[in-house]
Chains A and B, each alone.
Chain A
Amino acid sequence: MCGIVGLFLKDQGLHANLGYFLTSMLITMTERGPDSAGIAIYDSNTSAEAKITIQSEHPESDFEIIGSQLAAIIDTPVGVVVRDTHAVLGLDMDKLDQARQAIGKLCPNIRVMSVGEKIEIYKEVGLPKNVTDRFSVSTMSGTHGIGHTRMATESAVTTMGAHPFSTGMDQCLVHNGSLSNHNSLRRKLRRAGVVIETENDTEVGAAYLSYKMQQGSTLQEALQSSLSDLDGFFTFLVGTKEGFGVVRDPIACKPAIMAETDQYVAFGSEYRALVDLPNIETAKVWEPEPATVYFWKH
């Protein structure tokens, strides 16, 4: 099963409520995915040029090391905002590569969840309510965000198996469905030099889209070509710095519903995920067509 949600805010007045809305949408989707939950949120209010979201099994000691030593190693100030098992590091864009290498040396067990100008990813094992509480998602603000509640089929219930998956700067993917050619595609992508960390099918989907974009495709083109290169069931919701995109496989058995008003564009696996959004009664509500790419950007 799995539940996916997304919210793209057109009305700046709602930016402060993004996390609140996403939390409510995600908790409503608990029955579709009680194993784990995660969100990617795009926040424009950070002062740093770039952000790295990291995760650790031992956040207290690891984040202490990062906070006290990383800045000296890469010779630039690093902001550290800790939220439970995750921390967001704020730094200069040209220090990103150096920082990633230094993090790997300082704390080899730290996982990098996302890297980009705006993206932050938070995901953990547990009920959506517990996960969103741990990270205080309801207090977060931003321009757009996507979320996922997982009922695992293709790989183990672990933090790294939770969605969203990010395989490129400011890019991420959540997925409802299952890919059947992920093993062969993973081998092909790895041969092409793409880093894929888990045995999860969705990560291969995310890596595929990032690879296509590195090769010069637009997100629109990458999603279009996924329809012929990916085998299996999928409703994808893809986040980028500017907005989000939706595509469903041609059979389209995985549910999807969208709503649009002057204030927002919302996505849900089910309508009930959207019922608490403002003025949903008068929103334009529709089911995205199969094998059709939709995209909204700021």
Chain B
Amino acid sequence: MQKIDLENKSLRELNAELQAQNSSTTQKVWEVINPKGGHAIAAGLNAPIDVTVKGSTGYYLAGMNQLATVRVEGSVGPGVAENMMSGCVIVGGDASQYAGATGNGGLLVVKGNASSRCGISMKGIDIVVFGNIGHMSAFMGQSGNLVVCGNAGDALGDSLYEAKIFVRGSVKSLGADCVEKEMRTEHLKLLEELLKKSGSDAKPEEFRRYGSARKLYNFNIDNAY
């Protein structure tokens, strides 16, 4: 295992080393200590490596991630796994605003709560939050799945395209054009897979599904001011 102490190494040195790994690397397992809320830790990775960050981090942890698995033993600041393409990011604590924003693929798991704008403009990423999420989550979500084991805040799924949202608890309010939809067999199956992959013991039957009413897709004079 490779161990990097951010007390002794700069963020640039850490990220340069991690970004230099490729698919044939023999250095598969990495540990980062003393993150002290630093920004952009383990951002821009592009190799099937496993990185564990021991402590809480700041903005943009594992941003633009491809292939790598990044684990945080703590909480993360705004924009965790922003624009993730593939791979997996697992946050042991809470995530601040816009977790998984614009993500194209991969899996983001938040074991605590995520705050506002979780999954904003998501484009294919799967996000599983064990706790609650804040307001305006999945705003303009285009594809992918947002699974919330707790409650959702105001304006969930506002102006949603085709992202799917599953919530086990309450939804404070739905955003424009977001509606509750029927939970069919294929959705239960999808949910079961996502919960299993993320290590949650929640039951798919306990969730409700929300999606786009598709009323904002075309210009409608009744929507004009």
Inter-chain CA distance A273–B58, complex, in Å, is: 10
Neighbouring A residues of B115 by C-beta, 8 Å? 252, 287
Judged by a CB distance under 8 angstroms, whether B204 is at the interface is no
A69, chain B: closest CB distance, angstroms: 50
Q: Decide if A271 touches B97 in the complex (CB within 8 Å).
A: no
Inter-chain CA distance A253–B116, complex, in Å, is: 8
A-B contact pairs, 9 of them (CB 8 A): A252-B115, A252-B116, A270-B37, A270-B59, A271-B75, A273-B37, A285-B75, A286-B94, A287-B115
Judged by a CB distance under 8 angstroms, whether B203 is at the interface is no
A5, chain B: closest CB distance, angstroms: 13
Q: Decide if A272 touches B36 in the complex (CB within 8 Å).
A: yes
Total contacting residues, chain B, CB less than 8 A: 19
A261, chain B: closest CB distance, angstroms: 15
Judged by a CB distance under 8 angstroms, whether B135 is at the interface is yes
Judged by a CB distance under 8 angstroms, whether A209 is at the interface is no
Neighbouring B residues of A2 by C-beta, 8 Å? none
Contacting residues of chain A (254-295) with chain B, CB-CB under 8 angstroms: 255, 257, 270-275, 281, 285-287, 290
Given the interface pairs A253-B97, A255-B96, the reply to whether A272 lies near B58 with Cβ below 8 Å is: yes
Q: Decide if B37 touches A275 in the complex (CB within 8 Å).
A: yes
Q: Decide if B38 touches A272 in the complex (CB within 8 Å).
A: yes
Closest to A274 in B: B37
B132, chain A: closest CB distance, angstroms: 11
Q: Decide if A287 touches B36 in the complex (CB within 8 Å).
A: no
Neighbouring A residues of B106 by C-beta, 8 Å? none
A291, chain B: closest CB distance, angstroms: 9
Q: Decide if A287 touches B96 in the complex (CB within 8 Å).
A: yes
Closest to A271 in B: B37
Judged by a CB distance under 8 angstroms, whether B77 is at the interface is yes
Neighbouring B residues of A285 by C-beta, 8 Å? 56, 75, 94
Chain A residues in the interface with B (C-beta under 8 A): 250-253, 255, 257, 270-275, 281, 285-287, 290
Chain B residues in the interface with A (C-beta under 8 A): 36-38, 55-59, 75, 77-78, 94, 96-97, 115-116, 134-136
Q: Decide if B58 touches A270 in the complex (CB within 8 Å).
A: yes
Neighbouring A residues of B77 by C-beta, 8 Å? 255, 270-271
Q: Decide if B75 touches A255 in the complex (CB within 8 Å).
A: no
A234, chain B: closest CB distance, angstroms: 15
A38, chain B: closest CB distance, angstroms: 23
Neighbouring B residues of A251 by C-beta, 8 Å? 136
Neighbouring A residues of B57 by C-beta, 8 Å? 271
A30, chain B: closest CB distance, angstroms: 13
Inter-chain CA distance A251–B97, complex, in Å, is: 11
Q: Decide if A255 touches B37 in the complex (CB within 8 Å).
A: no
Further pairs besides A252-B97, A285-B94: 17, Cβ < 8 Å: A250-B135, A251-B136, A253-B116, A255-B77, A255-B78, A270-B77, A271-B37, A271-B57, A271-B77, A272-B38, A275-B36, A285-B56, A285-B75, A287-B94, A287-B96, A290-B116, A290-B134
A287, chain B: closest CB distance, angstroms: 5
Neighbouring A residues of B58 by C-beta, 8 Å? 270-272
B57, chain A: closest CB distance, angstroms: 8
Neighbouring A residues of B135 by C-beta, 8 Å? 250, 252, 290
Determine which residue in A252, A255, A287 has the highest number of CB atoms from chain B within 10 A of its CB, and name it: A287
Neighbouring B residues of A272 by C-beta, 8 Å? 36-38, 58
Inter-chain CA distance A257–B57, complex, in Å, is: 12
B33, chain A: closest CB distance, angstroms: 13
Neighbouring A residues of B78 by C-beta, 8 Å? 255
Neighbouring B residues of A270 by C-beta, 8 Å? 37, 58-59, 77
Smallest CB-CB A-B distances: 6 pairs: A272-B37, A271-B37, A275-B36, A287-B115, A275-B37, A271-B56
Neighbouring A residues of B38 by C-beta, 8 Å? 272
Inter-chain CA distance A271–B116, complex, in Å, is: 17
Inter-chain CA distance A183–B36, complex, in Å, is: 40
